[in-house]
Amino acid sequence: MNSFLLWTLCFAIVIIVIVSFNFNLTPSLFGSILIVFSIIKMKLLPRFRSSCLNNPKPNSMAETDSDVDVDAKPLHIPPHLVIMVNGIIGSSADWRYGAEQFLKKLPDEVIVHRSECNSSKLTFDGVDTMGERLAEEVLSVVRRWPGLQKISFVAHSLGGLVARYAIARLFDYSSTIEVEVTSRNCNCKEEAKCTKNCIEQHYEARIAGLEPMNFITFATPHLGSRGHKQLPFLCGIPFLERKASQTAHLVTGRTGKHLFLMDNDDGKPPLLLRMVDDSDDLKFMSALCAFKRRVAYANANFDHMVGWRTSSIRRQHELPKFNHQVIDEKYPHIVHTKSETVDDISSKESTNVGGETIDMEEEMIRGLTRVPWERVDVSFRKSKQRFVAHSTIQVKIYWMHSDGSDVIFHMIDNFLV
């Protein structure tokens, strides 16, 4: 049983719960479902977690659980830390293939750490709790490698939201320019001019004390999973989408509330809505501004867990049209790429009409697109592995998801070191 099957099980249970509520099935059936699910969580998932190794190859520059041998001093310690973050019900093993490719292609440039703090049932604790844990883990890794200079994040699915929360917690300015930056009060939320300033000044900001370079997500529900076919598994049926929003927390805990924008902690707006702006203690957008690149890889089809719009941060009419022809033999499943510039952001903002009423999805799009993104659209339409596209884009298990290897190569070949 892998993460995809467990994902499918989760949402199958959601559907059964919905049906049971509306057709008055016996409580015993509902209770049996929860018992079975609990057994799976408590018995099977720990086995996966305990078998995860965080070192793809012996003696490679990858983080492990074991203590660092202080007597073994490598001739060259790579300056760039890459943090790889798993998705829901996942583990550090999910990025094994990706980490191996990083170390093969950039052995002298990067240290790869596959996050271990949010695995299996811990991914039900909520985006904020997971983000806090990830931030602490990153700080621990940075302390372990005092010679580090740069940092990047590569995240899959829910892990992208967790990483966005963590970087806000880790965000700070270097002490040498703190007074100067404070006087500018640039927080990426006023207008295009402010956004441009933030982009130009990214080198002044720090994430965990390091220079932020790449922030890359794979099939991440940046806009949440609420309605509008953002959760393709529900086939866009309004009734199921409404009921899924109301019952997801029964299966996925606080994480379900966050994904479906149903949380209301202390009367505050939903967390994902708050994460498209800066707050007093968490500079979500300033942290994103700090990275030299922000990249969103998105499945254009056959992803049953995360819709194309939410993973690529676009409106329906902004989705590109393509004929699925191979545009590059080296990357056969990359069907469209688009890089925004600061001028593109300025043009978009000038067309927005003030005072209009907008829904939460539109508000999140406007918030997140205050900074430029590189969007890479992926299609496994002609692949035998297309029905597990959500895992294939990451190459979670090589023998099952190997067709996504060209997407990983594309990511590494364009990686800013």
**Structure confidence at residue 357 as a pLDDT band (50, 70, 90):** low
Q: Which residue has the higher pLDDT, 281 or 26?
A: 281
pTM as predicted: 0.79
- Do residues 196 and 342 make contact, with C-beta atoms less than 8 angstroms apart? yes
Distance from C-alpha of 91 to C-alpha of 123, rounded to nearest angstrom: 9
- The average pLDDT across 133-147 equals 96
Whether the pLDDT of residue 413 is over 50: the answer is yes
Angle between helices 192-200 and 342-351 (to 10 degrees): 170
Answer left, alpha or beta for residue 244, where phi above 0 means left and psi between -120 and 50 means alpha: alpha
Q: Which CATH fold would you assign to the domain 3-61+76-314+328-350+357-413? A: Rossmann fold (3.40.50)
pLDDT of the residue at 328: 83
Q: What's the confidence (pLDDT) of residue 295?
A: 98
Is residue 195 very low, low, confident or very high in pLDDT (cuts 50, 70, 90)? low
Asked if pLDDT for residue 415 goes beyond 80, the answer is: yes
DSSP, collapsed to helix, strand or coil, labels residue 342 as helix
Task: Convert the pLDDT of each residue in 118-132 to its tens digit.
Answer: 999 999 999 999 999
* Residue 192 in this model has a pLDDT that exceeds 60: no
Give the pLDDT confidence score for residue 249 in this predicted structure.
82
Mean pLDDT of 383-408: 97
Residue 90: alpha-carbon gap to chain centroid: 12
Look at residue 244 in the predicted model and tell me its pLDDT.
76
* C-beta of residue 332 within 8 angstroms of C-beta of residue 404: no
Q: Which residues pair with 85 in a beta bridge?
A: 155
Q: At what angle do helices 405-413 and 96-105 cross, to 10 degrees?
A: 40
Distance in angstroms (rounded) separating the CA atoms of residues 254 and 130: 11
The pLDDT of residue 329 is: 87
For residue 33, the model assigns a pLDDT of: 44
Which residue type occupies 301? Answer: N
The better pLDDT of the pair 34, 156 is held by: 156
pLDDT confidence band for 57 (50 / 70 / 90): very low
Query: Per-residue pLDDT tens for 204-231?
Result: 799 999 999 999 999 999 999 987 778 7
More confident position, 361 or 61: 361
pLDDT band at 66, cuts 50/70/90? very low
pLDDT at 230: 82
pLDDT at 71 over 50: no
E-strand ranges in 35-101 read 80-85
- Give the pairing of strands 150-156 and 80-85: parallel
| Mean pLDDT over the full length of the chain | 80
Look at 76 and 27; give whichever has higher pLDDT: 76
Check residue 115 and give its pLDDT.
Answer: 98
pLDDT value, residue 26: 39
Count Cα atoms within 13 angstroms, Cβ side, for 191.
Answer: 4
| Whole-number pLDDT of residue 358 | 74
Average pLDDT value for residue range 88-92: 96
Least confident interval from 89-93, 104-108, 170-174, 301-305: 170-174
199 pLDDT band, cuts 50/70/90, is low
Q: Quote the pLDDT of residue 102.
A: 98
pLDDT at 351: 52
Tell me: pLDDT of 297 over 90: yes
% of the chain with per-residue pLDDT over 90: 59
Contact 351, 318 (CB under 8 A): no
pLDDT at 6 over 90: no
Q: In angstroms, what CA-CA distances link 335 with 11, 220, 410, 416?
A: 29, 18, 12, 22
| pLDDT for the residue numbered 61 | 64
Q: What is the DSSP string of 1-50?
A: --HHHHHHHHHHHHHHHHHHHHHT--HHHHHHHHHHHHHIIIIIHHHHHH
Per-residue pLDDT, 280: 85
pLDDT at position 11, please?
56
